[in-house]
Amino acid sequence: MALNLGKRLIERLQTNPDTSYTAREIALWVFENFPDECAEKKAASTGDYIKTDGDLVQQLVAEISGSRPRWQKQHPQLKTTEGRPRRYYWTEKNASEEVDSAEDLHPALLNPAPPTLDTATPKPETKLSEYDLYPRLAAYLKIEHTVVSCRIDEKRSSNKSGTGANEWLHPDLVGLEDLSCDWTRELRDCVGVLAERRARLWSFEVKLLINRSNVRKSYFQAVSNSSWAHFGYLVAGTVEGDDTMKELRMLAATHGIGVIQLDSETPTESQILIPARERPEIDWDMCNRLTEENTDFVSYIERVKHFHQTGKLNDLEWPLSASF
């Protein structure tokens, strides 16, 4: 019996709805569960390009990736994430329901686990809240970009202007990148005397899921609360769909906010899907608005000031980044 790869993929995903798999994971499952069909495919190959079982699995991976657009037209419930590796899943939810499902968690009911960089032992899949993503993002920023970061909690704002006045005002995380970390002491001292810039400020808006339903709302929220910094980013645990990425690229070309896909299991495998456009100068008026409203942002500005005065970063001042 000839192998119907599309049928097998749909069977696998329908049996485990809302659970995502890479093309390689699906290919390995097909190879292990349908040995006769796979053996027939291997024997029928022409050109002598499938010589081993490994070659066959790699061919299945290539066919899954190549057939994806056609299968998705036939089955709208077949969804894929962006970034690498792309993940495939089946859901009966529409785009808006997917966002609601992802965000339908109360932080008080959760026990956030610290991020781990150890991939040797598989971890059971758990449903994360947006709050769980913050330390994972901090790990990625510290290790991959030498950016230390801290949380901005909107609950610490005064809200003195009334309900709704501070909507889309607060970023979720803010960071500082030490441009002088690899400089010699003599150069750091020289730049300090000249009062030249030795740090860049970053700002982040974090979402569990970005898809066609919330892409524009999420992006403009990041524009509103992160455009004051040298680099502003919209960060997502999952970005779903080609159309979503097209919209993000179009918006980024106009507004300059970048996009990061965060790997919650292995933070160092996170990716900048769209680089942010650097702002040459900080919008200090916007920073002033934030310091007037939020005590966390006041603390952040004090840490930035301390760094510029001393040229040193104190890990105790950056608790999200201290353990990395």
**Can you give the three-state secondary structure of 34-56, one letter per residue?**
CHHHHHHHHHHCCCCCCCCHHHH
Whether residue 264 is contained in a domain is answered as yes
- Confidence (pLDDT) at 48: 65
- Confidence (pLDDT) at 324: 63
Question: CA-based Rg of the chain, rounded to a whole angstrom?
Answer: 23
The count of domains in the chain is 2
Question: Could you tell me if 40 and 139 lie in one domain?
Answer: no
Would the pTM count as exceeding 0.75? no
- Confidence (pLDDT) at 322: 63
**For residue 34, what are its two tokens?**
């349908």
Residue indicated by tokens 């990716």: 271
Alpha carbons 81 and 71: distance in angstroms, whole number:
15
Question: Could you tell me if 253 and 306 lie in one domain?
Answer: yes
Question: Could you tell me if 200 and 313 lie in one domain?
Answer: yes
Question: Could you tell me if 85 and 146 lie in one domain?
Answer: no
Whether residue 98 is contained in a domain is answered as no
Domain end (from 92, 119, 141):
92
Whether residue 110 is contained in a domain is answered as no
Residue indicated by tokens 């500005």: 301
- Confidence (pLDDT) at 55: 86
Which of 275, 283, 176 minimizes the C-alpha distance to 228? 283
CA 193 to chain centre: 38
Whether residue 242 is contained in a domain is answered as yes
**For residue 4, what are its two tokens?**
């119907």
Mean per-residue pLDDT pooled into runs of 10, the chain (324 residues): 88 90 92 89 76 87 88 89 84 82 52 43 61 93 93 85 76 93 75 72 96 95 97 95 92 97 89 95 96 94 90 82 65
Three-class SS state of 90: strand
Whether residue 170 is contained in a domain is answered as yes
Question: Could you tell me if 206 and 69 lie in one domain?
Answer: no
Whether residue 33 is contained in a domain is answered as yes
Question: Could you tell me if 135 and 72 lie in one domain?
Answer: no
Alpha carbons 260 and 233: distance in angstroms, whole number:
7
Q: What is the DSSP letter of 120?
A: S
Residue type, 291: T
Question: Could you tell me if 66 and 185 lie in one domain?
Answer: no
- Confidence (pLDDT) at 109: 33
Q: How many CB atoms lie within 10 A of CB 83?
A: 20
Question: Could you tell me if 79 and 152 lie in one domain?
Answer: no
Alpha carbons 56 and 28: distance in angstroms, whole number:
10
Whether residue 53 is contained in a domain is answered as yes
Q: Phi and psi (nearest 5°) for 177? A: -105, 120
Question: CB-based contacts of 280: which residues, under 8 Å, 6+ apart?
Answer: 230
- Confidence (pLDDT) at 112: 42
Domain residues for the domain of 39 are 5-92
- Confidence (pLDDT) at 164: 65
- Confidence (pLDDT) at 68: 87
